Amino acid sequence: MRREKRIRILCGELLPCGTFADVGCDHGYCTRYMLENGLCTQAVFSDISAASLAKAERLLQEHVRAGRARAVCCAGLSGIPADTEEVLIAGMGGDEIADILEAGFLPPVLVLQPMRNARRVRGFLLAHGYAIARDYTFRDGKFYDVLRAERGTAGAARAGGRAYGARELAFGYDNLHAPSSDFAAWLAEEIQKCGRRIAAAGKEVSALGERMALLREVQDETLRRL
C-alpha cells in the first residue's frame, strides 16, 4: 500500500531517543513504531483535530495505559513538552511547518516531511543552527520530500559538513549529490508541468524559461550520476 511505503520511509529516518513527539500524528503509526521497537522511552502524539487524535489513541491504547504514551489535542507544538528530544512533523505544508517551529521550540532532532515548499523548511533549519543530515525526494504514488535535521556537534558530525548553496536549497542536498530514480522521475514530471505552463502562456515568460533551463540542467546532471 502507498501509505505503508511512506510510513516505512519516515520511520527509517527516526533516531533512538528518550522522548519523542509526533505532531499532526494522524493514525499514530510512527509513534507505534518508536514504542514497539524500543526507540524511545516516552512518546507524545498530537493533532489539532480531536477526531484524528482519537484514531491514534485507539491504535496506541496499550501504550497509553502503560504510561509510555499520551495524547495531546493542540495546534503545533503548543502542547508538546519543550524538553522533547525528537519531533516528527509530517504531511503539512513547508510554510506551516516553519511557522510551527518559529512559534514553538527547537528540539535537538527534527524529522520533517513537507508537502510543498521544502525550500523554506531547509532555509529555516539552516538559519536556526541545524545541520541537515538527510534531505531527499521519494515517490509513493506522488512525490514527497523528507528531511532529518540535528542541532549540536553530534548532528553536525552526522551531516558531514554538507554545504547548502542555492541549488541545494531548491532541490535538496541528497537529490543533487546522490540522486535516486525517484528524484529523476520528479524532475521529468516538473519539466512536463513547466512545458505545459509555457505553452499555455502563449508567449515568452522569462521566469518559466529560467525554471525550464534549470530543471533540464539538473536533469542532465542527475542522469549522469545514476
Q: Give the alpha-carbon dihedral of 55, 56, 57, 58, to 10 degrees.
A: 60
Instruction: Find all residues with CB under 8 Å of 201, minimum gap 6, and list them.
Output: 208
Residue boundaries of the structural domains of the chain: 2-163, 181-225
**Residues 111, 9 contacting (CB under 8 angstroms):** no
Q: What is the pLDDT of residues 145-179, one digit of tens each?
A: 999 999 987 777 877 878 999 999 999 999 999 99
CATH no. of 2-163: 3.40.50.150
State residue 107's pLDDT score.
Answer: 97
What residues in the chain have per-residue pLDDT under 50? 1-2
Whole-structure pTM value:
0.95
d(CA 101, CA 112): 11
State residue 187's pLDDT score.
Answer: 98
